[in-house]
Structure 1
């Protein structure tokens, strides 16, 4: 099979060369994530309705998109969906490609404001929720006399699993601060750092590295015990004694990780000036796409246009904000003098004022929600 042309892919606007065939196969996930087709389609229908409320879609476009997605669902269910092996990287790409074939340009507006990362999260939650609901129903009937008798509101599948749950939360916060520390964006206090035996100038954020590592240790203990548990016959066997020692270790480890995390966060120094200094104009490429969306251009087209602008700036060895207006208009005649307003980082952040967004009001709302949750528990 010949190499796939990168510009024909959803993300290919800033690429000119073909993607290696092996890389395409290495990257694809449709072979297994196609089971998410229904969740992906239903999530897209909901998103389309939200776009209509924002007047990004009109009534006709909404009707076309919903009808098209419903037809695609029928094709999957009847085994008639034809996969394009040269462009369908995943279930999201496949569904969107087919929608474009069915309804034309209106399909390009569907994913305004969405990324495949967000689609993956939504699809997995919808699919897993449906699958787990069926399993939970059967287990509830089987186990609910047991839980009531012990005074618990539910039954946890394994004692070690319960301990492992707690280690994932603090470990998830480890990699980001570690990366930020490398960039000089944050500094871990002396109380939670160590030095180097060779280089006296070094200050290592070992607290965060250890938290990240200990999460693997806790999960490994749970996984190791499950390997012993899987082949056991019903009722108690002496093998189960092996659960006691790792359980004690896991509880201690999780407790220490949480306490260390609290200390690190409470004493962390934030270097906002260094964060601002690291900002580059290419971070605003999505804002260029949004600028054209507000002028009625389908998002998929704006994505390619923004990619072309990034490529042009790279060729000229300048930042995208330094490109003359005439150069931008060569790529799209819709660019006007007001495009200069796009190159404002604070404006970019404040425009994202949806729930969970980056604007000041959204962040403050998230903080208030966390404080309210903590206050209840």
Structure 2
């Protein structure tokens, strides 16, 4: 490829470190699509004859068919997928294949191919998010009135509904989707035609190739175009934050499935056993989702560190830009699919959840709110009174709603009989009717709104 400049060949180790075909062969579809668009544009501009363009296009179709059939023969001497495609094209159609590289460099070629691949990866991530969102919405609707403890500091705080809990994760996914969509919009400019770094003296129609490849426009600066990997960072950032959200949900499933919680039973499809303990049912799928988040976060960090010291324009360091993106893509796709399946299949135990919600005197805030609302007590004083009620219940070994009216009036005589009704977990969640609240009425409304806004029916 570049033998005219060098008298000798590279050392064996140099050939090995320089070759990237084992990694970037995943770009073959994008490389052939961009090459076909480039050849068609060269012909339209009179830079390439129509006969040569037709031969190149036909040859590229054949190369694509061969690779799709698993017939790609990897040769480290050819370095990367771009040279493999060009080399095989030359074997098929002869020297005319060499005209394909007119007015382009591997620098703009790889930037274009990589952008096309990442754009497709974003579309896949959006579909995975859609599927998980649909599962969350369906379970939220099913459990709009199922009571569970709402935690802060992993201590029981106030009762909530399971439907409300699921919709919280749906909100995270909405933001995840927006990050992926924003990055797709921002990246959708074509580097093709920027050549090595300075553009080219050929009269290219960069708008034509951009349009043919589904880009919104050509890039504005050739130096930036060949060295830009912001789109990869944007993808990895969106993937990492999505993975963090999946990890948080996975952690909850792991806790809920443990014997001390007992909120869910793990279906066989999403759990494994032990090689020594026949009683075990392990939440391995959830644990792997939690573990995958660490690798995806690491992929983002690896990309940022790779880029931080690079001057303009292209440097060979950028050959290492693809492994973290490919790794994150594969792990995120698995994690989204696994989480969607788990959410859809989890078997909940409402009685255990309700009992846990009632523990810890979780309706104490409701008593304080009753004092503010019905007895005109300042909230700080009401908080103190409710705290004394909690202390009384603990001393008596009772739940808060197990205290009698006499018990409560002994603490503060302003407490009336109707205050007792607010101390059950069901009345607590039913009262939380503020916008975005946990009441079943609000959850049902939120489910309807989510379904109306969703890209996929739930």
Runs of 5+ unmatched residues, structure 1 = 1-141
CA distance in 2, matches of 1:274, 1:184: 7
Q: Output one character per residue of 1:199-245: Cα deviation in whole Å (capped at 9) or x when no partner.
A: 10110111111111111210111112212322222322222222201
Partner of 2:370: 291
Give yes or no for contact 2:189–2:216 (8 Å, CA) kept in 1.
no
Give yes or no for contact 2:358–2:425 (8 Å, CA) kept in 1.
no
CA distance in 2, matches of 1:210, 1:308: 45
Report the TM-score, using the length of structure 1 for normalisation: 0.56
CA distance in 1, matches of 2:320, 2:339: 29
User: Is residue 247 of structure 2 the alignment partner of residue 171 of structure 1?
Assistant: yes
Q: Output one character per residue of 1:223-280: Cα deviation in whole Å (capped at 9) or x when no partner.
A: 1221232222232222222220111111011011111111112211111122223342
Partner of 1:232: 310
Partner of 2:266: 188
Q: Are the structure 2 counterparts of residues 241 and 300 from structure 1 closer, same or farther at C-alpha, using a change threshold of 3 Å?
A: farther
Partner of 1:18: none
Equivalences for residues 149-298 of structure 1 within 5 A: 150-151=215-216, 156=231, 157-182=233-258, 183-280=261-358, 282-294=361-373, 295-298=375-378
2:399 to 319, 328, 344: 319
Report the TM-score, using the length of structure 2 for normalisation: 0.47
Q: Are the structure 2 counterparts of residues 315 and 262 from structure 1 closer, same or farther at C-alpha, using a change threshold of 3 Å?
A: same
Q: Cα RMSD between the aligned structures?
A: 2.9
Runs of 5+ unmatched residues, structure 2 = 1-185, 192-206, 220-229
Q: Output one character per residue of 1:83-119: Cα deviation in whole Å (capped at 9) or x when no partner.
A: xxxxxxxxxxxxxxxxxxxxxxxxxxxxxxxxxxxxx
Q: Are the structure 2 counterparts of residues 310 and 151 from structure 1 closer, same or farther at C-alpha, using a change threshold of 3 Å?
A: same
Give yes or no for contact 1:194–1:203 (8 Å, CA) kept in 2.
yes
CA distance in 2, matches of 1:318, 1:348: 18
Q: Give the greater-gyration-radius structure (CA).
A: 2
Q: Output one character per residue of 1:276-327: Cα deviation in whole Å (capped at 9) or x when no partner.
A: 2334250111111111111222222222221222123223333333334344
CA distance in 2, matches of 1:185, 1:144: 45
Q: Are the structure 2 counterparts of residues 304 and 231 from structure 1 closer, same or farther at C-alpha, using a change threshold of 3 Å?
A: farther
Equivalences for residues 80-159 of structure 1 within 5 A: 150-151=215-216, 156=231, 157-159=233-235
Per-residue deviation, 1:145 = 8.1
Partner of 2:449: 369
Give yes or no for contact 1:163–1:247 (8 Å, CA) kept in 2.
no
Q: Output one character per residue of 1:301-360: Cα deviation in whole Å (capped at 9) or x when no partner.
A: 222221222123223333333334344334323111222212222111111122222222
CA distance in 2, matches of 1:233, 1:298: 63
Partner of 1:42: none
Task: Please state whether the residue corresponding to 1:356 is helix, strand or coil.
Answer: coil
CA distance in 1, matches of 2:188, 2:324: 27
CA distance in 2, matches of 1:271, 1:317: 25
Q: Are the structure 2 counterparts of residues 264 and 325 from structure 1 closer, same or farther at C-alpha, using a change threshold of 3 Å?
A: same
Aligned length: 235
Task: Please state whether the residue corresponding to 2:454 is helix, strand or coil.
Answer: helix
CA distance in 2, matches of 1:166, 1:337: 48
Give yes or no for contact 1:185–1:272 (8 Å, CA) kept in 2.
yes
